[in-house]
């Protein structure tokens, strides 16, 4: 599905929306902890709280505006309902593909998210019926406000019904399905594990400024991030303007993205870049010292910048997709704040261990981590190539080049020529 040449700037979540996003996540975490829910139900509750916050703050106003500005069509009701039926057929086929994938591939069958869904399925029949009814209403309403109702879902339905269809749109639907299925299972499973860990070892129970205290707060930040990500993969609602405009189509773009996640990264990291296999950094920096507190604080600060970048996306977060150009939050200063912050945190964490390993081994392990950072650089370049098909991203990139963080630093460091 090609990116429209219309400028697709999405300033991103306003400060109010970002605050609502964070409040929704924290409310879900706090409520699940208060109710002492098991990890699967706790993760589901946290995501629901997040989605409700998004719908109330951003979704409802956007839907009202879209409904008020819709273009009325002069078409017979039979044509409308035939198209809705075709879309529902396409949606059912895509959901069927998800069920098959989650029943066949070990990555899905062995995931805690899929296992939880299977175990809880006997209690969710009323919820499934309610969701089915809501889906029919949503598809019909979205069709009414769409400028081009003949979308990829309609084309997928036509393909299932063996009618003429646009191959490009069906391939787009399959790519989108793969992205949502893989990452939603991954993020939901990661969130379940992080919530279980939070219940066993809450960050606030450790002595302040200790190693366990810093690690606990870093785990909490990670939990917030995966809940936000899981919500983003669910919230691809066109009614609210949160839909996917385009997906990555190149093999390199998919490779450098997927290699950063389970199950691929642990296998590659262990076999080729085991930069973390070495002495602990406590042998170089004593716990409780001023250097330790400053160093650990810097790592925690980097993780906060990383999750701030995810918050700025709001309901539009996902990998391998274009869902509007984000220019708010840390994206006002740099194009890839999440990748930069994440890699800085890794280097800060690993550098003392590199020193403790000795010159030869330390340089070798630093080289391994440099390969990981190179993968993220390639990932950033691949994303830029995809997004650059949108004129809005080219304008954004030019603005960052002229007024971003690096541009401001260069202007301050470079001597100005004296005026004659």
Give residue-wise pLDDT tens across range 156-211: 999 999 999 999 999 999 999 999 999 999 999 999 999 999 988 888 899 999 99
pLDDT per position as a tens digit, 232-289 = 999 999 999 999 999 999 999 999 999 999 999 888 887 777 877 777 777 788 888 9
Specify the pLDDT at position 415: 60
Residue 285 lies in a domain: yes
Residue 362 lies in a domain: yes
User: In this structure, what token pair is assigned to residue 126?
Assistant: 């009323």
Specify the pLDDT at position 4: 43
Which range, of 42-46, 111-115, 336-340, 416-420, averages the lowest pLDDT? 416-420
pLDDT per position as a tens digit, 205-230 = 999 999 999 999 999 999 999 999 99
Whether pLDDT at 145 is above 90: yes
Average pLDDT for residues 7-33, to the nearest whole number? 82
User: Considering its fold, how many domains does the chain have in total?
Assistant: 1
Residue 18 lies in a domain: yes
Whether pLDDT at 24 is above 90: yes
Query: What is the residue-wise DSSP string for 161-202?
Result: TT----HHHHHHHHHHHHHHHHHHHHHHHHHHHHHHHHHHS-
Of the pLDDT bands very low, low, confident and very high (cuts 50, 70, 90), residue 109 is: very high
DSSP label at 61?
A: H
Residue 79 lies in a domain: yes
Domain span at residue 402? 9-412
Residue 404 lies in a domain: yes
Among 130, 239, 113, residue whose Cα is nearest residue 180:
113
What is the rounded distance in angstroms from the CA atom of residue 149 to the CA atom of residue 94?
A: 18
Specify the pLDDT at position 236: 94
Average pLDDT for residues 337-366, to the nearest whole number? 92
Residue 418 lies in a domain: no
pLDDT per position as a tens digit, 376-404 = 999 999 999 999 999 999 999 999 999 99
Average pLDDT for residues 118-139, to the nearest whole number? 86
| Residue 337 and residue 309 in contact, taking contact as beta carbons nearer than 8 Å | yes
Quote the longest CA-to-CA distance of the chain.
82
Cα–Cα–Cα angle for 70, 74, 76, rounded to 5 degrees: 120
Residue 1 lies in a domain: no
Specify the pLDDT at position 231: 97
Specify the pLDDT at position 416: 57
CA-to-CA dists, residue 238 to 84, 124, 180, 247, 364, angstroms: 15, 26, 15, 15, 48
Residue 419 lies in a domain: no
């Amino acid at each position: 599905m090609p990116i429209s040449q219309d400028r697709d700037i999405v300033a991103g979540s306003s400060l109010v929306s970002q605050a609502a996003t964070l409040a929704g996540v924290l409310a879900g975490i706090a409520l699940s902890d208060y109710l002492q829910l098991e990890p699967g139900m706790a993760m589901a509750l946290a995501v629901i709280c997040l989605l409700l916050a998004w719908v109330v703050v951003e979704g409802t106003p956007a839907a009202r505006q879209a409904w008020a500005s819709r273009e009325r069509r002069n078409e017979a009701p039979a044509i409308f309902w035939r198209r809705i039926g075709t879309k529902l057929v396409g949606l059912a086929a895509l959901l069927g593909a998800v069920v098959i994938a989650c029943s066949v591939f070990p990555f899905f069958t062995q995931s805690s998210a899929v296992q939880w869904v299977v175990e809880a399925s006997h209690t969710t029949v009323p919820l499934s019926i309610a969701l089915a009814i809501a889906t029919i209403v949503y598809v019909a309403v979205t069709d009414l406000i769409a400028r081009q109702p003949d979308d990829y879902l309609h084309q997928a339905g036509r393909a299932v019904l063996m009618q003429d269809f646009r191959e490009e749109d069906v391939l787009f639907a399959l790519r989108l399905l793969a992205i949502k299925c893989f990452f939603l299972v991954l993020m939901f499973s990661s969130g379940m594990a992080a919530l279980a860990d939070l219940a066993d070892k809450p960050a606030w129970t450790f002595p302040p400024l200790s190693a366990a205290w810093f690690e606990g707060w870093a785990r909490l930040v990670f939990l917030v991030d995966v809940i936000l990500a899981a919500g983003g993969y669910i919230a691809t609602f066109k009614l609210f303007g949160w839909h996917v405009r385009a997906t990555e189509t190149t093999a390199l773009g998919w490779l450098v993205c997927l290699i950063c996640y389970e199950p691929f990264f642990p296998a590659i990291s262990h076999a080729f870049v085991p930069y973390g296999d070495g002495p602990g950094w406590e042998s170089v920096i004593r716990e409780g010292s001023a250097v330790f507190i400053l160093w650990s604080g810097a790592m925690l600060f980097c993780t906060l910048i990383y999750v701030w970048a995810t918050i700025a996306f709001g309901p539009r977060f996902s990998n391998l997709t274009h869902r509007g150009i984000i220019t708010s939050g840390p994206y006002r200063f740099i194009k890839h704040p999440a990748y930069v912050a994440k890699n800085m945190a890794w280097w800060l964490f690993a550098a003392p261990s590199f020193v403790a390993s000795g010159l030869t081994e330390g340089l070798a392990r630093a080289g391994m981590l440099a390969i990981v950072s190179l993968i993220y650089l390639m990932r950033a370049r691949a994303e830029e190539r995809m997004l650059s098909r949108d004129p809005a991203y080219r304008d954004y990139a030019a603005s960052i080049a002229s007024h971003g963080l690096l541009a401001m630093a260069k202007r301050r460091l470079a001597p100005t020529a004296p005026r004659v």
